[in-house]
Amino acid sequence: MCSRLVCFQTKIHEYQWGVIAEHPYIIASYLWNMFDFAVPMWKRGGINARNSKGLITFDRKTKKDSYFWYKANWSKDPVVYLTQRRNVNRERKNTSVTVYSNVGVPEVYLNGQKLDGVRRGYTDVHYVFDNVTLAEGKNTLKAVVRAGGKKYADEIEWFYNGERTRKADSSVNEHEHSGW
C-alpha cells in the first residue's frame, strides 16, 4: 500500500521538477536520496528506523513513482507509467489517474472503457485524468501510447471497497533530542 509519505513524495517531485524545468537560470538541483536509508531512533513514516524519501526502496527492489517521474523526464528510453501502483486499496470512489509518458499523449482505459479529459501536468511527460469514478471491487487501468510504429503500454489494478479514512502513520519519540 502507498503510504501518505510516498504519495506526498511523488507530488513534491512532480511539482519541484516542473518549476526547475521551466526556469533555466536555476543552475543546480539535487535529489534526496536515490535509496531509502536507515535512521536509528526514528519512529515515523510507517517504518521504524527508516527514512523513506528515496526513489527506490531500502531493499533496492521497488522503484517508486518518483523514480519513473525522473526517468520519463530525463531519459530517452520510452516510458509509459501509471502512478500509484502500490496504492492498490483505494480510499475514494472518485479519484484521478496520473500517467508519465515521454512517447506521447496516453490513452487510458478503466475496465476497458476509454477515459476522456486528459490534461497536461507540470511537464510535457505528465498527464492527468481527473474525476475518474472507480467501480466496486477490482479496477483495471491500462495506459497505451502508439508512437513510431510501436505500442507502449502499462497496466495496474486498483481495488475499491467503499469510502475509507486512513489513520495517521506517525508518532512522536519523546526519548530523542531533536535539536529545537
Q: Are 134 and 90 in contact (CB under 8 A)?
A: yes
Q: Would 94 be classed as within a structural domain?
A: yes
Q: Count helices and strands (H / E) in the chain.
A: 2, 11
**pLDDT value for 5:** 54
Tens of pLDDT, residues 151-180: 999 999 999 999 987 666 555 555 554 444
**pLDDT value for 11:** 86
CB atoms under 10 Å from CB of 67, counted, come to: 19
Taking residues 71-100, what's their average pLDDT? 96
Q: Would 170 be classed as within a structural domain?
A: no
Query: Which structural domain, as residue segments, surrounds residue 155?
Result: 4-160
SS3 content of the chain, % helix, strand, coil (to 5): 15, 35, 50
Q: Would 165 be classed as within a structural domain?
A: no
CATH number at residue 36: 2.60.40.10
Q: Would 171 be classed as within a structural domain?
A: no
Q: Would 168 be classed as within a structural domain?
A: no
Q: Would 169 be classed as within a structural domain?
A: no
Taking residues 112-124, what's their average pLDDT? 96
**pLDDT value for 175:** 55
The better pLDDT of the pair 180, 141 is held by: 141
Q: Closest Cα partner for 151 from 142, 160, 138, 159?
A: 142
Task: Return the beta strands (E) in the chain as ranges.
Answer: 37-38, 50-51, 80-82, 89-90, 94-101, 107-110, 113-114, 118-120, 126-133, 137-147, 150-160
Tens of pLDDT, residues 32-83: 889 999 999 888 777 889 888 899 999 999 999 999 999 999 999 999 999 9
Q: Would 180 be classed as within a structural domain?
A: no
Q: Would 122 be classed as within a structural domain?
A: yes
Average pLDDT over the chain, rounded to an integer: 88
User: What are 119's strand-pairing partners?
Assistant: 128
Q: How many domains does the chain have?
A: 1
